[in-house]
Amino acid sequence: MEHFYLILVVVLFALAISDLIVGVSNDAVNFLNSAIGSKAAPKWVIFLMASLGVLIGATFSSGMMEVARKGIFHPEMFYFSEIMIIFMAVMITDVILLDMFNTFGMPTSTTVSIVFELLGAAVAVSVVKIKTAGDSVVLELAKYINSEKALAIITGILVSVIIAFTVGAIVQYITRLVFTFNYQRPMKYLGSIFGGLAITAITYFILIKGMKGSTYSGVELESGITIQEWLKINSGLVMLYSFLFWVAFIQLLKWIFNINILKIVVLAGTFALAMAFAGNDLVNFIGVPLAGFNSFKAWVSAGAASPDSFSMGMLAGKVATPTYMLLIAGLVMIVTLIFSKKAKSVIATSVDLSRQNEGAERFGSSFIARFIVRRSTNFNKKLSKYMPAAVTNGIQSRFVPAEISESKGDNAPAFDMLRASVNLVVASILIAMGTSLKLPLSTTYVTFMVAMGTSLSDRAWDRESAVYRISGVFAVIGGWFLTALIAFTISGIVALTISLSGKFMIFVFILIALVMVIRTHVLLKKRTLLSISEEEDSIEEEDAIEEIISKTSKQLVKAIVATNQIVMLSIDSFLKEDRTGLRSAEEASKSFSKKAKKNKDKVYSIVHKLMERSVESSHFYVQMMEHKREMAHAIHFMLNPMIAHIENNHKPFIEEQITEMTNMLTQIDNYYNYVLHTVKEEKFEELDILIDERDKIIETLRKMEKNQIKRIKNKMVSTRNSQLFFKVISELESLLLQTVNLIKSQRDFISQTRQAK
């Protein structure tokens, strides 16, 4: 039996490593989004500062380990075998849940997931234990669950969302009023003071507040008092000297090396937030395995008695966490931080929702977002009527965005370093405060909501983007609540199944977790390859003339190939009543439509780049995107009725119709192959031949229409059959017309662009 539980402990630590990897992939957004979004420094510098913060912060997290051992349930009410079931259920669920959110690029809370997983597993095991004893679950459950502490943790997490958003918005509003968007001039005089205050605040809450409960807090000095006690007594002097030192140090750097003060603040804030993250969130990844390891050691020390009768009361006491374990965990986090592709996906979501400039929005609009924007706009209009014009104009002048002429297209920062500094300082202070109070605040919630609050104050959510950004925020917050529900439910089901079916189910669930992680990894790999493929033909500002032409040609080639494939697959599958083929065609159609929409949405930024070269080429580029979008619409409107016809089990086309459609498909396939040749070789002098071929197919389509009318007259087909037949012919004709228009626009675009050269 001892060997069995030793295997479980090893599995717990294996899951902990996996959890660290998927957890850091999710939480990297917490301390990297501000530095990366503002492009404060090269990425290697940002990662270096974050890595140092993670490594040092890991050693501050010892005091937080108590949450995993006794924060959610009363360990003395459980036996060793039951505790191990709880811990295994928690770790299995956590790996699955976090990996799923990472794959879809949604930042979620590792703190919320671990708290609700512990709660769900503990409740499930408690219910089994109470029912086995024949007692009432309603009356006895409170004895097992530390409801007071659990409620305090959950309340703290939810309240932190409101506090983080509010404080972030207020601090950013005041900061922007003082410095404006053109902060270079006031920063010359106030920069060292701003930087000194920011870094001093970070120093206070990280060093003094964050020290509480850490590995170093109990170290004694020569005077006999501990470091924590000395800092508490001398906190005022420490802060005064810290402020004076940082003001002088930053000013010297400015005078001697002309270093941007805000870069120092952003990098210091990245270090501090990474340190606060490691100090607060490390418990989420290794707290449970360490508690399981401590339980195993206590059980073995007691002579490895029956695991079903050995009480876990020892977990309620103080248990020191070895520093080397914390450092190993910190190193795993650093490696993941640098190499994780999923981390980049999650960071992109947060940066997109807080960026200052326009661009393609990741989220659509929602009713509640539209309601909020409408009400806010009306309230602002009414408020403006009662405020003096001088005050309104004065405030407005402080929030005029700076010109972005120095920005380089897609390489422009999402927001400036002033906002990045506020994001980092406010978030690190709030998280460090939570850590000092031993409340496992969600670093994801705090940093995300601070970023959203500062975005609001900076007026990044204007009327052009507000509904989409607010919808995105609600989508993320909704994901957080979903995290809690899923974590509680799945963890409870896993623990209940293991309790009732036997411990062999642990290994079944581990296998399930492994399969799911592999599947999400494959899914992410496919998405990454697709993203790389799309980026290949993305026009950049620095692109040369021939490179721009080459990329637009690639876009057209992909559109023509996709069009032909979808038309062939959809009609052929419909004629054969092949549902699987139709569903494949539908997926391809959605993908084509999404790409066409994305290209159309980016027209403004690309036209802005092309305008410097030629107004005419910009005009033809817009036309190209319009025609491609119309082609996607034609395919969609042709395909949907065919799917509905098959799904509703209506009668198939008669033999005569099938023959006509099959012959017509051969013509279209040959036509699109010729179109592809024309575009690839730029043989636009053959466009007249292309038009003649198109007209021949259209003539064939019109003959098919006449034949269908004859069939209607002879009562050979039904009304539903005729409606679908005419719809397919109509959309195919529209598709062919738009295809030729697309080629014409491409021809004129290339011609005008080369003339501009």
Asked if 420 and 266 count as a contact pair (C-beta separation under 8 A), the reply is: yes
Q: Is residue 712 scored above 70 in pLDDT? A: yes
311 pairs with which residues across the strands? 79
Question: What is the pLDDT, as a whole number, of residue 27?
Answer: 63
Q: Is residue 123 scored above 70 in pLDDT? A: yes
Q: Is residue 405 scored above 50 in pLDDT? A: no
* Arithmetic mean of pLDDT, 624-631: 89
Q: Is residue 286 scored above 80 in pLDDT? A: no
Asked if 625 and 745 count as a contact pair (C-beta separation under 8 A), the reply is: no
| Shared domain check, 544 and 499 | no
Among residues 483, 499, 529, the one where a domain terminates is 529
| Shared domain check, 659 and 715 | yes
| Shared domain check, 284 and 384 | yes
| Shared domain check, 571 and 517 | no
Q: Is residue 377 scored above 50 in pLDDT? A: yes
**Does a structural domain hold residue 256?**
no
**Does a structural domain hold residue 676?**
yes
| pLDDT tens-digit map of 222-279 | 777 877 778 778 878 888 888 899 888 888 888 887 877 888 888 888 887 787 777 7
pLDDT band at 657 (very low <50, low <70, confident <90, very high): very high
Within 8 A by CB and 6+ apart from 616, the residues are 748, 752, 756
Question: What is the pLDDT, as a whole number, of residue 730?
Answer: 93
| Shared domain check, 466 and 351 | yes
Question: What is the pLDDT, as a whole number, of residue 636?
Answer: 92
Asked if 729 and 707 count as a contact pair (C-beta separation under 8 A), the reply is: no
At 40 the three-state DSSP class reads coil
Among residues 488, 507, 529, the one where a domain terminates is 529
Q: Is residue 409 scored above 50 in pLDDT? A: no
| pLDDT tens-digit map of 287-339 | 778 878 888 888 888 777 778 888 877 766 555 566 777 778 778 778 877 77
Asked if 731 and 638 count as a contact pair (C-beta separation under 8 A), the reply is: yes
- What percent of the chain stands above pLDDT 70? 79
Q: Report how far residue 90's alpha carbon sits from residue 493's, in angstroms, rounded to the nearest whole number.
A: 11
Q: Where are the beta strands (DSSP E) in 332-432?
A: none
**Does a structural domain hold residue 121?**
yes
Within 8 A by CB and 6+ apart from 486, the residues are 97
Question: What is the pLDDT, as a whole number, of residue 98?
Answer: 74
**Does a structural domain hold residue 302?**
yes
| Shared domain check, 704 and 739 | yes
Q: What value, to the nearest 5°, has the Cα angle with vertex 49 and ends 47 and 54? A: 90
| Shared domain check, 112 and 33 | yes
**Does a structural domain hold residue 642?**
yes
| Shared domain check, 629 and 501 | no
pLDDT band at 411 (very low <50, low <70, confident <90, very high): low
Give the range among 326-340, 401-415, 428-442, 712-726 with minimum mean pLDDT.
401-415
Question: What is the pLDDT, as a whole number, of residue 337?
Answer: 73
Q: Is residue 736 scored above 90 in pLDDT? A: yes
| Shared domain check, 468 and 348 | yes
Question: What is the pLDDT, as a whole number, of residue 353?
Answer: 54
Q: Report how far residue 137's alpha carbon sits from residue 722's, in angstroms, rounded to the nearest whole number.
A: 64
| Shared domain check, 558 and 468 | no
Within 8 A by CB and 6+ apart from 544, the residues are none
Question: What is the pLDDT, as a whole number, of residue 406?
Answer: 40
Token digits of residue 194? 């701003």
Within 8 A by CB and 6+ apart from 456, the residues are 169
* Arithmetic mean of pLDDT, 492-518: 85
Compare 425 and 20 and report the one with higher pLDDT. Answer: 425
| Shared domain check, 147 and 59 | yes
Compare 9 and 475 and report the one with higher pLDDT. Answer: 9
Please enumerate, as own/partner, the contacts of 498-504 that have beta carbons within 8 Å and a separation of 24 or more: 498/85, 498/88, 498/89, 499/82, 499/85, 499/124, 499/125, 499/128, 500/128, 503/4, 503/81, 503/85
For residue 579, report the phi and psi dihedrals to the nearest 5 degrees: -65, -40
Closest CA to 702 of 732, 675, 659: 732
The reply to whether the predicted model has a pTM over 0.85 is no
Q: Is residue 407 scored above 50 in pLDDT? A: no
CA separation (Å) from 198 to 51, 195, 205, 264, 316? 21, 5, 11, 10, 39
Q: Is residue 603 scored above 60 in pLDDT? A: yes
Question: What is the pLDDT, as a whole number, of residue 705?
Answer: 92
Within 8 A by CB and 6+ apart from 514, the residues are none
Write out the residue range of the structural domain in which residue 621 sits: 540-756
Among residues 529, 552, 569, the one where a domain terminates is 529
**Does a structural domain hold residue 194?**
no
Q: Is residue 538 scored above 70 in pLDDT? A: no
| pLDDT tens-digit map of 449-490 | 888 888 878 777 666 667 777 777 777 777 777 778 888 899
**Does a structural domain hold residue 439?**
no
Q: Is residue 726 scored above 90 in pLDDT? A: yes
Asked if 274 and 31 count as a contact pair (C-beta separation under 8 A), the reply is: yes
**Does a structural domain hold residue 87?**
yes
In CATH, what number is assigned to the domain containing residue 576?
Answer: 1.20.58.220
| pLDDT tens-digit map of 567-601 | 999 999 999 999 999 999 999 998 888 888 777 76
pLDDT band at 663 (very low <50, low <70, confident <90, very high): very high
| Shared domain check, 156 and 283 | yes
Structurally, the chain folds into a number of domains equal to: 2
Q: Report how far residue 498's alpha carbon sits from residue 15's, in angstroms, rounded to the nearest whole number.
A: 17
